């Protein structure tokens, strides 16, 4: 099987590290070939704080995925997350020298490069520049400017910013694990690719990915990413509250949350009690499920209210910005009982749980279809998309023009006929090349620019790591 058909996503989370190997089947669905999981040691709230432990956890997940699939992993697409991520809105423009020429990809790239020169806070770097809507000579609400005429090209941008040191630490961990870093993707965007439909993105939707250390938010409207945010709380703080409130060890608190936890205290009767084995011969501890739910409820309300503050900051209450499709919950925290009902109660917005099964092949296991693996599935999809688009670009770039009749000495009396045919065929070849070039460029400007920027950013990280050695 060709290597280009195989893609690998690596989700470095606070509680778990997942390596997932997949490929597209003949129906265009994602077929998972192997998956490896390991407990995430050395990561806190999405940020690496112990290089050695993180490398060991990555190697363990990679080895398990290789064993399950029978493939050797050489490079991965990695998700970027953490509490250091923030986003800003920015508008910029360029004046074109020749308005009589159609706008091309180089004009948009020039505008993107201009945004990349924005001054950031010390230690911060721009990691994502996403064009939203373009304006040409005052004409607004243009989604695809390529091929249009105009002198002034303006665009609003969604700019994602992060700590350069945190991203380089991730790169160091990948390199030290013996694999190559082929791409970076913002984790909320990967999760969105896996669980959201295009209709939801058009109508307006907020994706809430409740992980172990952080809760990620991505808001889409009119098919465009409008807002991203990272809340520095996740499932781990719920476990910590249970541990403190019930005076039990962390392992027992996590099991209690998963097996008996509920975000809605009213669902539990007063006489429902669970018995926890005591430590080293001590008496078992009895815990009321109602009290357990009250502890969980208080913390989940705090997380959802912070997320809802971000949704309101985006402008959800403005009728033009209303998120008609409501909220989609994903991540491990979305599996908590009655969390859907609680989110609907707090926000007043329609809510559903997001499963990545829409893009998965029919024979995928139930475990992989869990919200727990939404980010990993999205990273594999992103890796496949990147490799396929790279292949298209390589095909267009490496294509050599065909030479027609160039080495043929024509018969004199047929000279003019041959020359005419030659001209016609050369024109046809040029036209076909132009069509192929256009088809390669037809993907949305947002996706294209995101990828080309990430390609350069990955190269920059690789250079930094190589020079640091």
pLDDT tens digit sequence for 46-75: 888 899 999 999 999 999 999 999 899 998
In terms of Cα–Cα distance, which of 355, 445, 390, 354 is closest to 7?
A: 390
**How many CB atoms sit inside 10 A of residue 322's CB?**
14
Given this model, what pLDDT does residue 77 score? Answer: 92
> Where does 86-162 sit in CATH, by number?
3.30.1490.110
CB 15 within 8 A of CB 213: yes
In terms of Cα–Cα distance, which of 167, 215, 232 is closest to 371?
A: 215
Q: Are strands 139-142 and 75-80 parallel, antiparallel or unpaired?
A: unpaired
Given this model, what pLDDT does residue 439 score? Answer: 45
Given this model, what pLDDT does residue 317 score? Answer: 87
Given this model, what pLDDT does residue 323 score? Answer: 96
What's the predicted TM-score (pTM) here?
0.80
Given this model, what pLDDT does residue 440 score? Answer: 44
Separation of alpha carbons 290 and 294, rounded Å: 6
Separation of alpha carbons 141 and 110, rounded Å: 20
**How many CB atoms sit inside 10 A of residue 359's CB?**
18
**How many CB atoms sit inside 10 A of residue 203's CB?**
17
Helix (H) or strand (E) holding 345, with range, is helix 339-347
DSSP assigned state of 100: T
Q: What's the CATH class of domain 186-354?
A: alpha beta
Ordered per-residue pLDDT tens for the chain, 469 residues: 344 578 999 999 989 999 999 998 888 889 999 999 999 988 888 888 899 999 999 999 999 999 999 899 998 999 988 888 888 999 999 999 888 899 999 999 999 999 999 988 888 988 888 898 899 998 988 988 999 999 999 999 999 998 889 889 999 999 999 999 888 888 999 999 999 999 999 999 999 999 998 999 999 999 989 999 999 889 999 999 999 998 899 999 999 999 999 999 887 777 889 988 888 878 888 899 999 999 999 999 999 999 999 999 998 889 899 999 999 999 999 999 999 999 999 999 999 999 998 888 877 777 888 999 999 999 999 888 877 654 444 344 444 433 333 333 333 434 434 444 444 444 444 454 454 445 444 444 455 555 555 566 666 666 766 666 5
> Please, what is the end-to-end C-alpha distance for the chain in angstroms?
35
DSSP assigned state of 353: E
DSSP assigned state of 412: G
- Tracing tokens 């039990």 back to the chain, one arrives at 248
- Domain map of the chain by residue range? 86-162, 186-354
């Amino acid at each position: 099987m060709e290597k280009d058909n195989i893609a690998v996503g690596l989700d470095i989370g606070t509680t778990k590290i997942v390596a997932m190997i997949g490929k597209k089947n003949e129906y265009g669905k994602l077929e998972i070939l192997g998956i490896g999981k390991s407990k995430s040691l050395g990561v806190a709230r999405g940020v690496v704080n112990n290089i050695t432990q993180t490398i060991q956890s990555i190697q363990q997940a990679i080895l398990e995925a290789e064993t399950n699939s029978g493939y050797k992993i050489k490079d991965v697409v990695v998700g970027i997350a953490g509490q250091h991520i923030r986003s800003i809105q920015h508008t910029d423009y360029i004046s074109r020298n020749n308005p009589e020429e159609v706008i091309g990809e180089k004009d948009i790239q020039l505008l993107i490069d201009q945004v990349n020169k924005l001054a950031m806070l010390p230690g911060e770097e721009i990691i994502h520049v996403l064009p939203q809507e373009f304006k040409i000579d005052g004409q607004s609400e243009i989604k695809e400017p390529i091929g249009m005429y105009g002198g002034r090209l303006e665009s609003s941008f969604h700019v994602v910013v992060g700590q350069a040191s945190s991203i380089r630490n991730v790169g160091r961990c990948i390199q030290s694990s013996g694999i190559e870093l082929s791409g970076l993707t913002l984790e909320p965007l990967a999760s969105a690719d896996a669980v959201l439909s295009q209709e939801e993105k058009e109508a307006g939707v907020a994706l809430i990915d409740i992980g172990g250390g952080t809760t990620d938010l991505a808001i889409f409207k009119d098919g465009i990413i409008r807002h991203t945010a990272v809340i520095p709380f996740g499932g781990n703080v719920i476990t910590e509250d249970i541990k403190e409130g019930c005076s039990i060890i962390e392992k027992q608190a996590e099991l209690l949350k998963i097996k008996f936890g509920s975000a809605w205290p009213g669902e539990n009767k007063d006489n429902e009690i669970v018995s926890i084995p005591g430590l080293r011969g001590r008496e078992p501890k009895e815990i009321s499920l109602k009290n357990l739910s009250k502890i969980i409820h208080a913390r989940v309300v705090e997380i959802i209210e912070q997320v809802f503050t971000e949704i309101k900051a985006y402008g959800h209450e403005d009728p033009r910005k209303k998120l008609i499709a409501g909220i989609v919950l994903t991540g491990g925290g979305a599996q908590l009982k009655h969390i859907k009902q609680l989110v609907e109660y707090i926000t007043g917005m329609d809510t559903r749980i997001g499963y990545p099964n829409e893009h998965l092949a029919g024979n995928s296991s139930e475990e992989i279809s869990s919200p727990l693996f939404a980010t990993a599935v999205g990273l594999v999809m992103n890796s496949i998309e990147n490799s396929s688009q790279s292949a298209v670009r390589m095909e267009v770039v490496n294509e050599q023009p065909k030479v027609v009749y160039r080495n043929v000495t024509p018969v004199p009396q047929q000279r003019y006929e041959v020359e005419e045919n030659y001209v016609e065929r050369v024109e046809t070849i040029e036209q076909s090349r132009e069509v192929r070039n256009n088809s390669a460029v037809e993907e949305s400007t947002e996706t294209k620019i995101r990828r080309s920027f990430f390609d350069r950013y990955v190269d920059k990280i690789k250079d930094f790591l190589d020079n640091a050695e």
